[in-house]
Amino acid sequence: MTHTRLSDYLQQQQVDDALQQVVHAVSRASNDINHALSKGALAGVLGAAGAENVQGEDQKKLDVIANDLLKATLSAEPAVRGVASEEEPDVVPCHQDGRYLVTFDPLDGSSNIDINSMVGTIFSVLAHTGSEDAVEADFLQAGRQQVAAGYVLYGPSVILVLSTGKGVAMFTLDPDSGDYLLTDDEVSIPADTGEFAINMSNQRFWAEPMQRYIAELLAGKDGPRGKNFNMRWVAAMVADVHRILCRGGLFSYPWDNRKPEQAGKLRLMYEANPMGFLVEQAGGKVWTPEGPILDIQPQQIHQRVPVILGAANEVQRCVDYHQAG
Ligand SMILES: O=P(O)(O)OC[C@H]1O[C@](O)(COP(=O)(O)O)[C@@H](O)[C@@H]1O
Ligand SMILES: [Mg+2]
Ligand SMILES: [Mg+2]
């Protein structure tokens, strides 16, 4: 069986040349990141880097390595006007005639690194419309403005998932050629589900509507929902969203009162928006209690947001509880 190569797919989709170059740069960097991940302890790349990122989180060595690889590859690409990363305090201007801005979470789920479990790279592409040298304000565009978004999941296979606004396609890395080959171009999320993903250890800290919604799922057949629900939590958004794109489900990282002043844990510009774009393109829903995540006007690059996404009917029910409360 022959599979369409990523480069041929992008041409078939009539993606403009500059955007093709951006996607190819991400794909090259992901090959290098995958190589570093697979060497693991042999290359001494596991464990903490001994520093914190701008958000006060401990960086793993591989967070730094993945960030450096993506930053170097993307900033060498003439189509890239600027990049912003979870691991960089400030946005990084690149080429003055580049057409695109790229935000990324170089390694999502990095607490999984030391247990050899799934991690990924999440990216979002925006058109540049602002100043000559890219500045933070240029990046502050609502998620609906994204021209492309995707992720690479480093699991038993390496999978690139991409949307340029015409549905969602999945590509599997061929380790022999280094090419990403199309393996699914009809990704869609059923409106109903019997599976949810949430970190249950935070239950007592959630707002009342989220407590109610999850309690009803846990009550299963004997509760108001009248059916049993299964639960999964990989602790890497990239892997939890991948499962939802493959077999459906609901995912949430809600607001909680451990740090009441913090909107949520996940970051809008390089986690919630790109994943939200993919989920909407696959027919799912993406909300925060105040409204659709993709409509939020960002205020800053490292902004956080509560996230509810996945099966449209379940997301709607969860949001209805918030809006009623
Ligand atoms: O450890 P927790 O609180 O369950 O959080 C898990 C969440 O944190 C994240 O790992 C944050 O991503 P980073 O590893 O990029 O900081 C999400 O991917 C995941 O959904
Ligand atoms: Mg992350
Ligand atoms: Mg990260």
pLDDT, tens digit, for every residue of 66-113? Answer: 999 999 999 999 999 999 999 999 999 999 999 999 999 999 999 999
Task: Tell me whether domains 6-184 and 195-324 share a fold.
Answer: no
Please give all residues whose beta carbon lies within 6 A of any atom in ligand 1, as ranges. 57, 86, 105, 108-111, 199, 235-237, 253, 265
In CATH terms, the superfamily for domain 6-184 is Fructose-1,6-Bisphosphatase, subunit A, domain 1 (3.30.540.10)
pTM: 0.97
Domain ranges of the chain: 6-184, 195-324
Protein residue with its CA nearest to atom 10 in ligand 1: 109
**What torsion do the CA atoms of 34, 35, 41, 42 make, to the nearest 10 degrees?**
170
Proximal ligand: closest to the CA of 62: 3
- Comparing CA positions, the residue from 181, 145, 171 lying closest to residue 245 is 171
**What does the alpha-carbon distance between residue 174 and residue 177 come to, in Å, rounded to a whole number?**
6
pLDDT by 10s per residue, the chain, length 325: 789 999 999 999 999 999 999 999 999 999 999 999 998 888 777 778 777 777 777 788 899 999 999 999 999 999 999 999 999 999 999 999 999 999 999 999 999 998 999 999 999 999 999 878 999 999 999 999 999 999 999 999 999 999 999 999 999 999 999 999 999 999 999 999 999 999 999 999 999 999 999 999 999 999 999 999 999 999 999 999 999 999 999 999 999 999 988 889 999 999 999 999 999 999 999 999 889 999 999 999 999 999 999 999 999 999 999 998 6
What span, in angstroms and rounded, lies between the C-alpha atoms of 185 and 170? Answer: 6
> ∠ at Cα 159 (153, 163), nearest 5°?
95
Dihedral sign from CA coordinates of 88, 154, 163, 167: negative
Which atom of ligand 1 approaches the CA of 202 most closely? Answer: 3
The CATH number of domain 195-324, selected from 3.40.50.1820, 3.30.70.100, 3.40.190.80, 3.30.413.10: 3.40.190.80
Annotated binding site: 86, 105, 107-111, 199, 265, 271
* Chain centroid to CA 265: 13
Place of tokens 């978004």: 149
Cα–Cα distance measured from residue 210 to residue 203, given in angstroms and rounded to the nearest whole number: 9
Ligand positioned closest to the Cα atom of 237: 1
78's CB contacts (< 8 A; 6+ apart) are: 21, 95, 97, 98
